[in-house]
Each structure stands twice: as structure tokens, then as C-alpha cells.
């Protein structure tokens, strides 16, 4: 379990109104009296140096060079492919590769050149340092075993290097394939076992060891070989060979005892192809999925490719970048060995893996990226294919070896245990995924240097990737920044009449009330509004299947919805009715299947015991196979309503497999189906709002709400960064969580974060009295009556809009932490915003910053 530096406390919604009443709505731009924190000369020089190191420019000027040992290692390699920017080398004896960037002559190695001198690494980790592939697999009991490409392929000369278009291909065959264990009999008579084997082994200890590897069947008077790990089988095979027992002898004994077919029983053997391709200024590393081979009895659990690509040693400075939430940095050689290594799945956990206990909730990994900065060079990876099956891994030096690493690992197949109960006895049976994904797995690497070799340069690289691949467009310049307002419409509530229980629909914000609220906002001179409306059809928030739409009558019905949509269109307001397609709140029809073959029924978790609370049903998970039919039905009714916008509650927020053994859908296949259906929705809706904003939803999104604004605060990480916003700002309207639902409940801090990241202000409201949700399943929405928040929201918006309106369509070209708690963001048009998050005033770089305040500079450069 990965630790956190702090755990979020549970806030009772009933206290929120009093907190707001006591809070000042605005954030200071002026110096305030308070404790001043002044930097001394040395610290100021260090900050200045750091500032220069993080400037983003067009050049690639760098000063760091490769060591003599690295250059010597390169000279022993063969140049196999070259283009205008890169040279690809390979060592045909070890299968190591090297990538030389011709733009600055810097060389990146797949494996550390000086690994043989590593005193920290054990023999196993020395082998991993020499490997390009790390593999885990399951045995029949569900136990996980590991192979590495050095010990189990290269050292045994079980690999092949061939030429490929614009690159080279290495095929690894892992396991005891070349030699095999054909001289180990599966079944042998007692007499021949004694005469041909035991009597021929002089060493008593070895004789006993060999005998133990066979079980004796008293009734049949035969010995049957036990299940052997490969390394054990290798030892026994060698002992039998020394005793003069051959493969022909084993074949004879197998045939005599009816075990001829068993002689060819499956072993743990794997074929892993890796293709390296030069693509302009980038290296693409691919595992061709259809060429991946293994025996069904030993399914691959995971594959990790190039774990040590660009690994940084103990004397190097820099950091690892991980996409935890908005983003986080891990300082090289931080010595955090008590913290667990970083390992989080891209797009969060697969929902159809039944997690019965959840002690902590991490921020979602929204983007399939990672990076490493070494001095003034950086490596940046984008998982292009297989992203839904990937996890991002990272660790610092000193735990298992002397290197800092970051990369990705692919989950090829999954396993869970099904518990059988009989009386007081229980036993667990492993249940394996029936079908694996057969598509390619690929990572695209970019190489940065000089002024671009930091996390801002990495974010720019990802932005350019999105522009080139999906043709995403920059936002238009408008007068004001958006104010994002979420309104809650209707919900179902339990009631009773004469003691008879029934469910009724309760209205929190009717369509007419929504229109009035919009007018009230416009009367305060807030003109640019994006409205997300939740709970408008099929019984409200937790609606029934969206395959057909029935607008809630209590809200005003179709006519009221049409009037609200017309009002929004007339006044230039973005109107986004919200819909859930993957979470199924009513009925189990079309739901997915757990890995343990149960129905994918999700419950809420007990906040004290951390286990599932089966009295609090949350939703069923829809099978991806049922998604197309549901989308088609929805679009038919949606089109008839004449709506132009749509909010996707879950399509950009989760990806789930379906482990139905008869029609398994892998997580990657599910992602492709979600992309197809999201595209279908985007062709009908003129504008799409996405909740969460996972990478695969970006080609279709216009507005992203609940975008990540922080990391999970893992113990191993050292600094939060707004990588998500740096990469996407200027191309999407972004908003974090609603200010009045944020964990910290500090509107000033929320606005400061918006200024740092260029994000929109976001509030969640309803028009009714808060008592309507009291003692219901929706009591977490208590205290959201808009009247309690309107004045604060208007004041914050007017203050923030003076800055945000000028940078809405500008990319972030620079971001840095000056000192802890003080950050600076520079936008493309020269606008510079400096934020002090500390609760004390601070003096830094000639600026006097009050507690929790900001300072704006660069206005003279703004057009």
C-alpha cells in the first residue's frame, strides 16, 4: 500500500455554510502586515539559478556530455539505423540499444553502462540492470513468478536480432527453451527409477534431492515427477544427465507407463518481440501483440520494457516526472527508501476488479506519460498503444540498485481468487482472464535538452503530440473567462404513505429556476457562463438507462428544457445536460462481470472500516458490449430534443473491462469502444463537456471539469506540479473541482490555484432549500443552496477574470517553484503570475507577497 503524506479528512456538509460565512471571499494582491520571510543572498542566488535553468526557449543548447565509459560502450555497438535527428545502435551480444541525438550528440542507453560496478545490486538486480524486458507470469495456483530477458534469454543465447523498417527488432525467447528438460521422465516404474537413476548417483545428498522431486504411487508402484520450477528442473536434468539417464530413456519410460503425451506438457516459455523504430525526432518502442507468445498454462501477468532506459546514477541531479493527478516530481537520489516505489495505473483501477477493501483513494492518472530529467537533458515517454493496460512506475536509487528509474509496465492478463465455502471450511480458487488483448503495446520517446529539458518542456512535447495527432485547436480569444456553474436538477427519495413505502422524484432546481439563476448571474455582469445540468431526465441524478430519454416532469418537462436551452443559446451560454453512460444505476441488465465471475455491482465503502458497505449500493458497471446500443438510443431522443451541448459524466473518467468468460472484453478494447462512441456523440453534440478528462477523451472535449489540480501526495514524491494544465491550457477550458465542494473549503486557495493554472472558476449549486437532501442518499449535497454562495462567487470571479480573461487562449511557457509555497506561471503573451500559498507573508526576488496572495506582472507585454 502506497503511503501518503497526509490523509484527507471527512468534512460534514452541514458545516460548510458557516465556514463560508466566516471566510473572506477575495485574495489579496497587496502586501499585508505579517511575518516576513526573507531570503538571504545565497538562497536568492540559488533561486535565480533555478529560474534560469527552467526557462523554456527555442534552443537546444546543453552543457552535459556523456562519460568516457559511455562513449566507450557506444563504440562497441553497431549503428543500425539513422535519420536526420537520431542514430540507433545495438550491441548484438547483449541486445542493449543506444540512441544518439544528432542535434546535441548526447547518447541515451537502454541499460546503465556502469552497472557492473554497482555495489548495491544483488545478483538478481544486476541481471535486471542488464535486461530490456522484465516479465511476470502466473502458475496454476495463481502464484506470480518472474523472468528477466538477461538471465532467461540473452545469457542462454535465446534471442534473435533482425532488421526492420526504420529500425531493428529483437525477439526474446524466455525460459529453458534451447535445452529443455526432455530427460526428466514424467512417470517411471519403481524398478527402473532405482536402477537407472538412484543407483547411478553416488552423492547421497543429491540422490535424496532427486528422489524427493518424484512422488511414489504405492498402488501402481510408479514414481511421478512433481511440479518443478525451471531452475529446479534444470538442476535435476543436469543430475540425470550426469547419471547417464538420457532423453531417450525418459521417452521409453513415459511410453511404458502411458505418459507419452505428458512428455510434451507445457512449460513456462515466452516469446517477447521488441521493435525499435526511428520516427523523425522520436524513438517508438513496440511489442507487436500478435507475436507475443506463451503457454496458456502460464499466462503472462505483466511485461515491463526498458525499465532502465536513461536511468540516472547516484551522482546526477534532476528529477523523475510522474503523472499522478495533475503531476508530481520525484527528486533524484532523495533517499526515500522507507516510502514505497511509485506504481499507479493509467486511468485508475479497472472497475471490474472487485476491490473489497479500499483504505486510500489516489488521484487519477489522467495522462499516459512519464519523464526523467538528468542535468540539462530529459527523456519523455508517451504510451501510445496499450495505455489502458499500463501503469507508471518509478523509484529512486539505493533501494535495490544505484539508479533512479521511471517507465511503464503493461498488465497482459489478470487473476483473482474465487472463494469456495463448505460448512466451516473455505478455499480459494484462482480465476484467470480468459482472453488477452492482442493489439500492439507501444511507447513513444522524445529527447529534450538545454532550455527545454524540464517538465514544462515535456508538457509542450505532449501538447505538440496532441496537435499533430488529433488536430486540437487553440481557443478563440473572447472578452471574459468562463464561469462554470453546475446545477443539480432532480433526484429520487424514499417516502411513505399510510405506512406504504414508495419512491418519489424531488426537484432541487427546475428548468425555470435555472433560467432565473442564469439571469441573476448575468445581472452581476458575468456574461461567459458554462452550465452543467445534472439530473434532468429518467428520475434525476442516478438516472435509469439513457437508451431512452424521459425529461423529468417536475423540473418542467420537455417544454421547460427547451425554454432553458433556447435562453442559453440566445445569451451565448454553454448548456451541457449531464449523462452517465458507463455507470448503471437501475437494473443489472447489460452489466459487466467481475474477474471472479460475479456481477459487477459496486457498493460504497465504509469510511471507518474501509470495506464495502453492502447496504449502500452505488451502481452496476455497464459492459462495453452494451454501450453502442445505449448510445444509439440516446442519440435518437437527444436529437429530437434539439440540444446542442452534452456533459459526459463517466466516458472520460473511467475504463472498465468485462471478464465475462464467454465474451471477454479487455480494458484496452473497452477504451477503443469508448472512443468510438464518444466520437459518435461529438458528431451530434456541437460542444462536449468532459468530467475528469482522461487522455482518450481529449480529441472530443471542449470543456473539462474536475480536472486534476493536485497529486496523491505519495511519500516518494517531492513536489506537485500542474503538468496537466501546462500541457492543455490554451486549447481547453479547464476547471478543477467545485469551489464549494473542494476538500480544503478555502475559496481563496481555490482561486489562487485557478490563477496559477489559468483554470475557470467552478461552483455547484441548486435553487431549493438544503433540507430537501437531509437524511437522504444525497446528504453530501447539503448546503449547496446558491444563495449561500452567490456573493462569494461573483466577487471571486470579478477579481480572477481580470487576469484569466487575458490568458484564456495562451499556452503556459514557463512554470517554476521559487521557494516552497511560492510558484510562478508565465503565459505565452508575457503575463506572469506569482502565487504565495503560504499562510505567512514572504519576500522573494524583490517581491513582497502577502499571505495567500498573488502578484501579476508582464501586463505591458500583453496585446
What is the DSSP annotation of 569-611? HHTT-EEEEEE-SSEE-S--TTB-B-TTSSB-EEEEE-TTT-B
Compute the distance between CA of residue 368 and CA of residue 407 in angstroms, rounded to an integer: 10
What percent of the chain is modeled with pLDDT above 90?
Answer: 78
Whether pLDDT at 7 is above 80: no
| Helix and strand element counts for the chain (H, E) | 16, 45
Q: Which residues are CB-neighbours of 663 under 8 A, at least 6 positions away?
A: 625
Give bridge partners of residue 161 from the DSSP assignment: 170
Q: Which residues are CB-neighbours of 819 under 8 A, at least 6 positions away?
A: 39, 43, 47, 842, 844
Compute the distance between CA of residue 436 and CA of residue 453 in angstroms, rounded to an integer: 37
587 sits in the region (left: phi over 0; alpha: psi -120 to 50; else beta) called left
Compute the distance between CA of residue 51 and CA of residue 60 in angstroms, rounded to an integer: 17
Give bridge partners of residue 622 from the DSSP assignment: 591
803-830 burial, b for 16+ CB within 10 Å, e for fewer? bbebbbbbbbbbbbbbbebbbbbbbebb
Output the CA torsion 437→438→440→443 (10° steps).
30
Mean pLDDT of 395-420: 93
pLDDT at 128: 97
pLDDT tens digits, one per residue of 493-543:
888 777 788 788 999 999 999 999 999 999 999 999 999 999 999 999 999
Q: Which long-range contacts (CB under 8 A, 24 or more apart) does 801-805 make?
A: 801/480, 801/481, 803/755, 803/831, 803/833, 803/856, 804/481, 804/754, 804/755, 804/758, 804/759, 804/760, 805/478, 805/479, 805/480, 805/481
State whether residue 753 is helix, strand or coil. helix
What percent of the chain is modeled with pLDDT above 70?
Answer: 91
Q: Are 624 and 656 in contact (CB under 8 A)?
A: yes
Degrees, nearest 5: CA angle 551-554-557: 35
The number of angstroms, rounded, from the C-alpha of 202 to the middle of its chain's C-alpha atoms is: 57
Q: Which cell goes with 85?
A: 535527428
pLDDT tens digits, one per residue of 111-126:
999 999 999 999 999 9
Whether pLDDT at 265 is above 90: no
Whether pLDDT at 411 is above 90: yes
pLDDT at 266: 59
Q: Are 343 and 2 in contact (CB under 8 A)?
A: yes
pLDDT tens digits, one per residue of 761-817:
999 999 999 999 998 989 899 999 999 999 999 999 999 999 999 999 999 999 999
Compute the distance between CA of residue 88 and CA of residue 74 in angstroms, rounded to an integer: 10
What is the DSSP annotation of 610-653? -BEEEEEEEEEEBPGGGHHHHHHHHHHHHHHHT--EEEESSTTT
What is the DSSP annotation of 371-438? EEEETTEEEEEEEEESGGGEEEEEE-TTSSSS-BEEEEEEE---EEEEEEEETTEEEEEEEE-S----
Q: Which residues are CB-neighbours of 86 under 8 A, at least 6 positions away?
A: 99, 100, 101, 102, 278, 281, 282, 283, 447
Q: Are 290 and 88 in contact (CB under 8 A)?
A: no
Degrees, nearest 5: CA angle 858-859-861: 75
Q: What's the residue count for the chain?
A: 863
State whether residue 485 is helix, strand or coil. strand
807 sits in the region (left: phi over 0; alpha: psi -120 to 50; else beta) called alpha
Q: Residue 320: which pLDDT band, with cuts at 50, 70 and 90?
A: very high
Q: Which residues are CB-neighbours of 471 under 8 A, at least 6 positions away?
A: none
Q: Are 744 and 8 in contact (CB under 8 A)?
A: no
Q: Are 249 and 183 in contact (CB under 8 A)?
A: yes
pLDDT at 745: 80
Please give, one letter per residue, the 3-state secondary structure of 334-349: CCCCCCCCEEEEECCC
State whether residue 240 is helix, strand or coil. helix
DSSP assignment, residue 476?
P
pLDDT at 862: 40
Mean pLDDT of 331-346: 97
Whether pLDDT at 32 is above 70: no
Compute the distance between CA of residue 82 and CA of residue 86 in angstroms, rounded to an integer: 6
pLDDT tens digits, one per residue of 443-475:
999 999 999 999 999 999 999 999 999 999 999
What is the DSSP annotation of 249-299? HHHHHHHHTT-TGGGG---S-EEEEEEEEEETTEEEEEE-GGG-EE-TTS-
Neighbours of 216 (CB within 10 A): 12
Q: Residue 859: which pLDDT band, with cuts at 50, 70 and 90?
A: low
Q: Which cell goes with 201?
A: 548417483
For residue 228, give the nearest of 312, 316, 140 by alpha carbon: 140
Mean pLDDT of 221-229: 90
Q: Which residues are CB-neighbours of 654 under 8 A, at least 6 positions away?
A: 347, 348, 351, 582, 692, 694
Q: Which cell goes with 27?
A: 485574495
Give bridge partners of residue 406 from the DSSP assignment: 394
Compute the distance between CA of residue 379 and CA of residue 370 in angstroms, rounded to an integer: 9
Whether pLDDT at 439 is above 60: yes
Compute the distance between CA of residue 799 and CA of residue 808 in angstroms, rounded to an integer: 15
H-type alpha helices, 102-229: 123-129, 190-192, 204-212
What is the DSSP annotation of 344-367? EEBTSS-TTS--SB-S--PPPB-S
Mean pLDDT of 599-625: 88
pLDDT tens digits, one per residue of 553-565:
999 999 999 999 9
Which H helix or E strand runs over 671? helix 667-684
**What does the domain layout of the chain look like in residue ranges?**
187-264
For residue 110, give the nearest of 84, 81, 155, 149 by alpha carbon: 149
pLDDT at 60: 60
Whether pLDDT at 675 is above 50: yes
Mean pLDDT of 413-421: 83
DSSP assignment, residue 151?
I
End-to-end CA distance of the chain: 50
pLDDT at 29: 61
Answer with the residue of higher pLDDT: 21 or 293: 293
Place of cell 498402488: 219
Whether pLDDT at 654 is above 80: yes
**Window from 388-392, 600-604, 752-756, 788-792 with minimum mean pLDDT:** 600-604
Mean pLDDT of 672-676: 98
pLDDT tens digits, one per residue of 183-214:
999 999 999 999 999 999 999 999 999 999 99
pLDDT at 239: 94
Compute the distance between CA of residue 251 and CA of residue 259 in angstroms, rounded to an integer: 9
Q: Residue 261: which pLDDT band, with cuts at 50, 70 and 90?
A: low
Angstrom CA distances, 700 to 322, 389, 466, 759, stand at 25, 22, 12, 19
pLDDT at 179: 53
Compute the distance between CA of residue 215 and CA of residue 675 in angstroms, rounded to an integer: 54
Amino acid at each position: 500500500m502506497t503511503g501518503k503524506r497526509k490523509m484527507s479528512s471527512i468534512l460534514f456538509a452541514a458545516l460548510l455554510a458557516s465556514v463560508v460565512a466566516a471566510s473572506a471571499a477575495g485574495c489579496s494582491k497587496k502586501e499585508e502586515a505579517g511575518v516576513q520571510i526573507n531570503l538571504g543572498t545565497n538562497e536568492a542566488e540559488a533561486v535565480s539559478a533555478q529560474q534560469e535553468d527552467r526557462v523554456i526557449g527555442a534552443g537546444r543548447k546543453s552543457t552535459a556530455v556523456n562519460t568516457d565509459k559511455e562513449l566507450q560502450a557506444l563504440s562497441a555497438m553497431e549503428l543500425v539505423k539513422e535519420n536526420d535527428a537520431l542514430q540507433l545502435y545495438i550491441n548484438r551480444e547483449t541486445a542493449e540499444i543506444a540512441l544518439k541525438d544528432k542535434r546535441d550528440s548526447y547518447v541515451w542507453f537502454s541499460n546503465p553502462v556502469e552497472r557492473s560496478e554497482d555495489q548495491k545490486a544483488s545478483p538478481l538486480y544486476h541481471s535486471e540492470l542488464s535486461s530490456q524486458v522484465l516479465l511476470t507470469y502466473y502458475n496454476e495456483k495463481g502464484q506470480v513468478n518472474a523472468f528477466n530477458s538477461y538471465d532467461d534469454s540473452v545469457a542462454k543465447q535465446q534471442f534473435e536480432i533482425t532488421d526492420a523498417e526504420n529500425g531493428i527488432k529483437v525477439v526474446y525467447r524466455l525460459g529453458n527453451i534451447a535445452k529443455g528438460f526432455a530427460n526428466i521422465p514424467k512417470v517411471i516404474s519403481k524398478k527402473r527409477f532405482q536402477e537407472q537413476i538412484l543407483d547411478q548417483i553416488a552423492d547421497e545428498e543429491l540422490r535424496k534431492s532427486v528422489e524427493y522431486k518424484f512422488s511414489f504411487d504405492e498402488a501402481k508402484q510408479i514414481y511421478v515427477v512433481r511440479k518443478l520450477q525451471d531452475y529446479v528442473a534444470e538442476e535435476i536434468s543436469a543430475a540425470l544427465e550426469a547419471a547417464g539417464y538420457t532423453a531417450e530413456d525418459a521417452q521409453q519410460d513415459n511410453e511404458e507407463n502411458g505418459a507419452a503425451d505428458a512428455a510434451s506438457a507445457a512449460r513456462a516459455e515466452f516469446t517477447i518481440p521488441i521493435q525499435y523504430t526511428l520516427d523523425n525526432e522520436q524513438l517508438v518502442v513496440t511489442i507487436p501483440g500478435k507475436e507475443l507468445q506463451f503457454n496458456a498454462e502460464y499466462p503472462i501477468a505483466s511485461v515491463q520494457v526498458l525499465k532502465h532506459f536513461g536511468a540516472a546514477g547516484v551522482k546526477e541531479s534532476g528529477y523523475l516526472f510522474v503523472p499522478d493527478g495533475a503531476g508530481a516530481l520525484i527528486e533524484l537520489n532523495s533517499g526515500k527508501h522507507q516510502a514505497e516505489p511509485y506504481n499507479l495505473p493509467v486511468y485508475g483501477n479497472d472497475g471490474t476488479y472487485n476491490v473489497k477493501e479500499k483504505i486510500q483513494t489516489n488521484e487519477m492518472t489522467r495522462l499516459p506519460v512519464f519523464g526523467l530529467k538528468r542535468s540539462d537533458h530529459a527523456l519523455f515517454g508517451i504510451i501510445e498503444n496499450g495505455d489502458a493496460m499500463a501503469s507508471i512506475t518509478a523509484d529512486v536509487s539505493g533501494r535495490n540498485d544505484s539508479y533512479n528509474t521511471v517507465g511503464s509496465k503493461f498488465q497482459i492478463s489478470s487473476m483473482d481468487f474465487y472463494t469456495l465455502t463448505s460448512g466451516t471450511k473455505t478455499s480459494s480458487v484462482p480465476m484467470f482472464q480468459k482472453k488477452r488483448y492482442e493489439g500492439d503495446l507501444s511507447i513513444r520517446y522524445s529527447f529534450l535538452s538545454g532550455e527545454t529539458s524540464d517538465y514544462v518542456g515535456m508538457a509542450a512535447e505532449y501538447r505538440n503530440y496532441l496537435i499533430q495527432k488529433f488536430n486540437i485547436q487553440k481557443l478563440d480569444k473572447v472578452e471574459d473567462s468562463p464561469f462554470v456553474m453546475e446545477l443539480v436538477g432532480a433526484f429520487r427519495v424514499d417516502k411513505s404513505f399510510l405506512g406504504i413505502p414508495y419512491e418519489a422524484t424531488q426537484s432541487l432546481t427546475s428548468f425555470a429556476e435555472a433560467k432565473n439563476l442564469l439571469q441573476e448571474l448575468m445581472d452581476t455582469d458575468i456574461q461567459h457562463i458554462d452550465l452543467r445540468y445534472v439530473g434532468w431526465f429518467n428520475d434525476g441524478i442516478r438516472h435509469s438507462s439513457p437508451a431512452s430519454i424521459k425529461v423529468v416532469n417536475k423540473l418542467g418537462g420537455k417544454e421547460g428544457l427547451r425554454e432553458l436551452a433556447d435562453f442559453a443559446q440566445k445569451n451565448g451560454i454553454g448548456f451541457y445536460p449531464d449523462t452517465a453512460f458507463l455507470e448503471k444505476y437501475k437494473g443489472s441488465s447489460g452489466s459487466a462481470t467481475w474477474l471472479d465471475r460475479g456481477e459487477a455491482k459496486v457498493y460504497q465503502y465504509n469510511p471507518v472500516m474501509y470495506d464495502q458497505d453492502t447496504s449502500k449500493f452505488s451502481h452496476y458497471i455497464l459492459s462495453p458490449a452494451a454501450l453502442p446500443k445505449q448510445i444509439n438510443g440516446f442519440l435518437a431522443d437527444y436529437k429530437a430534443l434539439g440540444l446542442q451541448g452534452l456533459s459526459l459524466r463517466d466516458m472520460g473518467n473511467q475504463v472498465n473491462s468485462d471478464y465475462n468468460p464467454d465474451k471477454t472484453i479487455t480494458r484496452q478494447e473497452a477504451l477503443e469502444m469508448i472512443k468510438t462512441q464518444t466520437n459518435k456523440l461529438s458528431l451530434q453534440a456541437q460542444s462536449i463537456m468532459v468530467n475528469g478528462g482522461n487522455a482518450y477523451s481529449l480529441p472530443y472535449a471542449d470543456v473539462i471539469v474536475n480536472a486534476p489540480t493536485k497529486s496523491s501526495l505519495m511519500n516518494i514524491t517531492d513536489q506537485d506540479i500542474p503538468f496537466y494544465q501546462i500541457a492543455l491550457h490554451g486549447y481547453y477550458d479547464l476547471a478543477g473541482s467545485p469551489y464549494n465542494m473542494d476538500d480544503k473549503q478555502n475559496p481563496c486557495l481555490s482561486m489562487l490555484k485557478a490563477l496559477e493554472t489559468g483554470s475557470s472558476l467552478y461552483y455547484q449549486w441548486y435553487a431549493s432549500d438544503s433540507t430537501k437532501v437531509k437524511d437522504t442518499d444525497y446528504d453530501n449535497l447539503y448546503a449547496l443552496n446558491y444563495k449561500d454562495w452567490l456573493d462569494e462567487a461573483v466577487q471571486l470571479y470579478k477579481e480572477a477574470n481580470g487576469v484569466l480573461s487575458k490568458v484564456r487562449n495562451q499556452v503556459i511557457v514557463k512554470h517554476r517553484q521559487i521557494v516552497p509555497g511560492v510558484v510562478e506561471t508565465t503565459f505565452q503573451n508575457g503575463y506572469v503570475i506569482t502565487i504565495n500559498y503560504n499562510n505567512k507573508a514572504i519576500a522573494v526576488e524583490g517581491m513582497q507577497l502577502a499571505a495567500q496572495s498573488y502578484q501579476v506582472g508582464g501586463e505591458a507585454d500583453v496585446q
